[in-house]
Amino acid sequence: MTLTATSSLPEVAVAAGAQLRRHGITAVLTGGACVSVYTDGAYGSKDADFVIQGKVQQKALDDALAELGFVRRGDRYVHADVTFYLEFPPGPLAIGSDLAIRPAEVAIAGDVALALSPTDSCRDRLAAFYHWRDRQSLQLAVAVARHQAVDLEAIGKWSRAEGRLDDFDEFLREIRRGE
**Listing from the earlier edge strand, what are the strands of the sheet with 47-53?**
70-73, 76-79, 85-87, 47-53, 26-30, 111-115, 104-108
The string of pLDDT tens digits covering residues 95-117 is 988 999 999 999 999 999 999 99
With bands split at pLDDT 50, 70 and 90, how would you rate the model's confidence at 42? confident
The string of pLDDT tens digits covering residues 134-156 is 999 999 999 999 999 999 999 99
In this structure, the number of other CB atoms found within 10 A of the CB of residue 117 comes to: 21
Residue 55, CB half-sphere, CA atoms under 13 Å: how many? 1
With bands split at pLDDT 50, 70 and 90, how would you rate the model's confidence at 128? very high
Q: What average pLDDT score do residues 20-45 get? A: 94
Q: Please give the pLDDT value at position 179.
A: 66
In percent, how much of the chain has pLDDT > 70? 99
Q: Please give the pLDDT value at position 137.
A: 96
Residue 48 has pLDDT above 80, yes or no: yes
